[in-house]
């Protein structure tokens, strides 16, 4: 299309919701249309994620500056994609992949390629005057991913609390995204009162992502509190649980053990602890229950934890090759969809498509170091994702995600919330 070629690219350092620098890229076409993208980052990040290019200067944001990425975008990436058509997302992404030439974007930086890739996508959406989810969808959109909320924080987010990173509710038995949102808001509003009762009158503390800091080192206490809160909210028959164990964070590779609440335990004991939890409560999925490199352990856990679906994050890192391995080994039946983990829109959407076509469900997720306009929910909607992982319905990027799902529900005629029924295991 005339005028849609890339004419200019500008990059800058901005800050994420944690006050840490991130790269933002603006792409301009010959007709003056601009697209903007910024790559988020995680606090708990898998070792196989795309490389994040940072400055390393400890005097500036403790080494987390991104001026090297700014220069990389403007002086290396831009000359390679100048003149290319923003309506050809795949060609531009492939050009960056070839330019980088490494398995994990270690030359250009995954934050450089993803910010640029997102900017290209948004320029195309602005030209065509369509929402991101409609632009990325390959066919008819029939379902909208469900919003979820992490209600308790522990693990690497909140030290000296529970060993797992997050406890989450999923309002899956609902007729609309609006109903799911109302449930999340009501539970979050009632939760501090129940925590206060558990703590003998002491007020609860807010955690890293606006979740409540786990009031106990036992995650089962947090699940009990959540269950009681859901009962008071009158929605206990409409919710399921999710828990992000993030157990790579507590794994000792040399000893092949986990530092669990001050005790050294092995894989079998971890699986046993999680089995007790899934026997007591209904878990739709259980994220990162074992170390990210323990493929055999995952396959074993999948056979034992029969009342839930294992969900890979650090294990799969939105990488199609790792998702293929997960399918082949029966390691997990779902995955956390984080496009910045792989470094381009094209690669991320291809990974999600492969997973869904092979019987998995996708759970798009914001990052702890997120941005307020993260397109991950739109990318999930476009690809048929199940639910979106986010913090409570409060502040910044979580609200953006919830509202984008509410908008999609009203814009996509005939759409319904994702149906989890085929994936429910506790009734089988």
| Arithmetic mean of pLDDT, 276-293 | 97
What is the C-alpha to C-alpha distance for residues 377 and 390, in angstroms, rounded to an integer? 10
Q: How confident is the model at residue 302 (pLDDT cuts 50, 70, 90)?
A: very high
Spell out a b/e string for 30-66, using b for 16 or more CB atoms within 10 Å of the CB, else e. eeebebbbbbbbbbbbbebbbbbbbbeeeeebeebbb
Fold of domain 143-423: TIM Barrel (3.20.20)
Query: Mutual orientation of helices 219-232 and 267-280 as an angle, nearest 10°?
Result: 10
pLDDT in tens, 71-123: 999 999 999 999 999 999 999 999 999 999 999 999 999 999 999 999 999 99
State residue 43's pLDDT score.
Answer: 62
Residues of the chain with CATH 3.30.390.10: 6-129
Q: How confident is the model at residue 16 (pLDDT cuts 50, 70, 90)?
A: confident
Q: Please, are residues 106 and 362 in contact by the beta-carbon 8 Å criterion?
A: no
Residues of the chain with CATH 3.20.20.120: 143-423
pLDDT in tens, 162-189: 999 999 999 999 999 999 999 999 999 9
Q: Percent helix, strand and coil across the chain, each rounded to 5?
A: 40, 20, 40
Q: How confident is the model at residue 394 (pLDDT cuts 50, 70, 90)?
A: confident
State residue 44's pLDDT score.
Answer: 59
CATH superfamily of 6-129: Enolase-like, N-terminal domain (3.30.390.10)
pLDDT in tens, 189-223: 999 999 999 999 999 998 767 899 999 999 999 99
Q: How confident is the model at residue 369 (pLDDT cuts 50, 70, 90)?
A: low
Q: Is the pTM of this model over 0.85?
A: yes
Q: How confident is the model at residue 17 (pLDDT cuts 50, 70, 90)?
A: confident
HSE (CB half, 13 Å, CA atoms) of 14?
20
| Arithmetic mean of pLDDT, 235-252 | 96
State residue 157's pLDDT score.
Answer: 66
State residue 402's pLDDT score.
Answer: 94
Does pLDDT of 298 surpass 70? Answer: yes
Does pLDDT of 8 surpass 80? Answer: yes
pLDDT in tens, 20-31: 999 999 999 999
Q: What percent of the chain has pLDDT over 70?
A: 97
State residue 370's pLDDT score.
Answer: 75
State residue 1's pLDDT score.
Answer: 61
């Amino acid at each position: 299309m005339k005028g849609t070629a890339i004419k200019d690219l500008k990059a800058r350092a901005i800050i994420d919701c944690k006050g840490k620098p991130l790269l933002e890229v603006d792409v301009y076409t010959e007709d003056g249309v601009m697209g903007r993208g910024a790559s988020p980052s995680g606090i708990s990040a898998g070792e196989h994620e795309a490389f994040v290019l940072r400055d390393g200067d400890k005097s500036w944001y403790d080494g987390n500056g991104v001026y090297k990425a700014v220069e990389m975008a403007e002086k290396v990436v831009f000359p390679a994609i100048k003149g290319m058509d923003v309506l050809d997302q795949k060609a531009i992404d492939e050009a960056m992949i070839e330019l980088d030439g490494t398995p994990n974007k270690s030359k250009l930086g995954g934050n450089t390629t993803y910010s640029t890739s997102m900017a290209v996508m948004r320029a195309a959406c602005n030209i065509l005057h369509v929402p991101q989810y409609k632009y990325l969808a390959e066919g008819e959109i029939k379902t909208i991913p469900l919003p979820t909320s992490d209600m308790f924080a522990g693990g690497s987010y909140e030290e000296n609390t529970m060993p797992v990173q997050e406890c989450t509710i999923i309002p899956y038995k609902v007729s609309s995204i609006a109903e799911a949102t109302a449930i999340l808001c009501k539970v979050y509003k009632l939760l501090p009162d129940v925590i206060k009762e558990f703590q003998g009158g002491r007020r609860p503390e807010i955690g890293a992502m606006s979740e409540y800091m786990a009031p106990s080192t036992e995650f089962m206490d947090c699940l009990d509190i959540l269950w009681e809160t859901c009962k008071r909210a009158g929605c206990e028959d409409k919710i399921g649980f999710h828990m992000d164990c993030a157990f790579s964070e507590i794994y000792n590779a040399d000893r092949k053990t986990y530092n669990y609440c001050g005790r050294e335990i092995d894989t079998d004991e971890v699986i046993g602890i999680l089995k007790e939890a899934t026997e007591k409560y209904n878990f739709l999925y259980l994220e990162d229950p074992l170390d990210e490199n323990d493929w055999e352990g995952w396959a074993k856990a999948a056979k034992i934890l029969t009342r839930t679906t294992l969900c890979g994050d650090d294990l799969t890192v939105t990488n199609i090759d790792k998702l293929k391995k997960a399918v082949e080994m029966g390691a997990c039946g779902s995955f956390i969809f984080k496009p910045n983990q792989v470094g381009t829109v094209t690669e991320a959407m291809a990974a999600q498509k492969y997973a869904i076509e092979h019987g998995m469900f996708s759970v798009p997720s914001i990052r702890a170091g997120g941005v307020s306009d993260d397109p991950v929910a739109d990318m999930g909607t476009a690809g048929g994702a199940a639910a979106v992982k986010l913090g409570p319905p409060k502040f910044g990027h979580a609200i953006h995600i919830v509202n984008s799902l509410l908008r999609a529900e009203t814009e996509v005629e005939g759409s319904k919330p994702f149906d989890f029924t085929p994936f429910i295991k506790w009734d089988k």
